[in-house]
């Protein structure tokens, strides 16, 4: 953490764009899917002392990262350079070009990799999991050793996440057995949004696009772009909206890259919120059950079947102590949550202008997002399960308030979800 603070201080000193007198943070939740994990919301385990945690099923998104590529930077730069050629570029436009270069310089060729914040997140997540459920990990030499076995998407930041999380647990319990694997062999679990062709086609070209495009045309403001390129840039209103949107997609990733947060030098809170609401709606249509499709949940079924198989092994006393992990992307978790019934709006959303008050990608899949199913046993041998979403206890069965449920009830619920969707 000290390194991050020093780097930010040096950047602020070197670049007047981040000077203290002009620096005002916009609400972090408006970074949407690039929001940082909120450790302050972590709750104690819901398991009573009478139950002993035995095994954990853990499904997670990668931690905080740098921008995945230069594409949004280049898109902004192209529009701003054209404005310069026309003699329309404003002083704020020149300043934004400097900001883009500072982002590129800070990334230093690490496009898409975990940032320092992301690495620290994953170490902390692994350590806290190990300490909260000691009975699932402790090796006492009196039987089979606990095991942490995980698989990950082939994407390097996801592999990094799995490795750091696993090492953090092993650091707490040096005798534990760990094994990890990654690659395209696990695409059906981690990247089903690509391998499921019907779902992939919906995600790219489904009927949702016309609804979303209409929302963008009505909500994305032109003013942030105009402040950069002036009135004589030659950009149409749609071109100005797309520049504003690209600005947002750069700014929303700055906190995750250990850079000073987006400032009101570029957008007001209302303008920044409008951009987030558009990205939030897009992700809702692409990755969640909606009135338009259940395909996202269908794509996640292979992941739920994996958990169901583990739960059956636990029922039969065949599941060893430890943790089974699947590490993927926000695009992995959102459909899976939808299939589980976690985070779904209480009733179908038909007024999409109000979606952000009912469904939030920042709440469901911040960087480092995870869901954990904890299998536990009573002194009499009865089996139970609890569930945690991003450090908070949530009911494992939608529509029921209990935070700890009989394992059989959860298995029956999962089978209902699999057959109903």
- In the structure encoding, which two tokens stand for residue 215, read together? 């929302």
Q: What is the pLDDT of residues 265-278, one digit of tens each?
A: 999 999 999 999 99
What pLDDT does residue 23 have?
62
Residue position matching structure tokens 């089996």: 383
3-state secondary structure of 401: coil
Residue partners of 354: CB distance under 8 A and separation at least 6: none
- In the structure encoding, which two tokens stand for residue 13, read together? 């000193």
- Rounded distance, CA 220 to CA 214, Å? 10
- What stretches in the chain show pLDDT beneath 70? 1-23, 140-144
Report the share of the chain in percent with pLDDT over 90. 88
CA angle 35, 59, 29 (to 5 degrees): 15
What pLDDT does residue 410 have?
98
- Rounded distance, CA 192 to CA 331, Å? 9
H/E stretch holding 323? strand 322-328
Q: What is the pLDDT of residues 50-72, one digit of tens each?
A: 999 999 999 999 999 999 999 99
| Residues β-bridged to residue 181 | 151
Q: What is the pLDDT of residues 218-248, one digit of tens each?
A: 999 999 999 999 999 999 999 999 999 999 9
CATH fourth-level superfamily of 27-420: Phosphoglycerate mutase-like (3.40.50.1240)
């Amino acid at each position: 953490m000290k390194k991050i603070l020093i780097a930010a201080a040096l950047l602020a000193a070197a670049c007047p764009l981040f000077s203290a007198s002009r620096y005002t943070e916009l609400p972090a939740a408006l970074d949407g899917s690039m929001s940082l994990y909120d450790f302050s919301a972590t709750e104690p385990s819901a398991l009573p002392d009478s139950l002993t945690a035995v095994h954990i099923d853990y499904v997670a998104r990668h931690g905080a990262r740098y921008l995945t590529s230069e594409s949004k930077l280049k898109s902004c730069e192209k529009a701003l350079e054209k404005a310069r050629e026309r003699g329309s570029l404003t002083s704020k436009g020149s300043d934004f070009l400097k900001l883009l270069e500072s982002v590129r310089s800070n990334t230093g060729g690490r496009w898409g990799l975990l940032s320092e914040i992301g690495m620290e997140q994953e170490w902390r997540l692994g350590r806290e999991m190990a300490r909260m459920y000691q009975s699932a990990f402790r090796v006492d030499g009196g039987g089979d050793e606990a095991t942490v076995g995980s698989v990950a998407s082939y994407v390097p930041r996801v592999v990094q996440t799995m490795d750091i999380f696993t090492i953090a647990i092993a650091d707490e319990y040096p005798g534990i057995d760990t094994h990890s694997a990654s690659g395209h062999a696990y695409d059906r679990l981690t990247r089903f949004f690509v391998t499921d062709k019907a779902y992939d086609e919906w995600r790219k070209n489904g009927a949702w696009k016309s609804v979303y495009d209409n929302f963008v045309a009505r909500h994305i403001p032109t003013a942030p772009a105009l402040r950069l390129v002036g009135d004589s840039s030659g950009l149409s209103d749609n071109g100005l909206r797309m520049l504003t949107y690209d600005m947002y997609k750069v700014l929303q990733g700055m906190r995750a890259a250990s850079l000073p947060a987006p400032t009101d030098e570029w957008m007001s809170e209302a303008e920044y919120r409008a951009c987030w609401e558009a990205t939030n709606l897009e992700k809702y249509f692409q990755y969640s059950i909606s009135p338009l499709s259940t395909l996202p949940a269908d794509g996640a079924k292979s992941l739920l079947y994996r958990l169901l198989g583990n739960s059956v092994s636990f029922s039969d006393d065949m599941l060893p102590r430890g943790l089974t992990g699947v590490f993927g992307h926000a695009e992995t978790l959102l459909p899976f949550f939808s299939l589980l019934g976690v985070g779904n709006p209480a009733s179908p959303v038909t007024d999409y202008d109000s979606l952000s008050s009912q469904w939030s990608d920042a709440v469901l899949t911040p960087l480092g997002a995870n869901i954990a199913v904890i299998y536990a046993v009573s002194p009499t041998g009865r089996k139970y399960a609890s569930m945690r979403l991003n450090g908070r206890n949530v009911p494992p069965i939608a529509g029921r308030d209990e935070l700890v449920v009989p394992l059989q009830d959860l298995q029956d619920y999962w089978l209902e979800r699999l057959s109903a969707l």
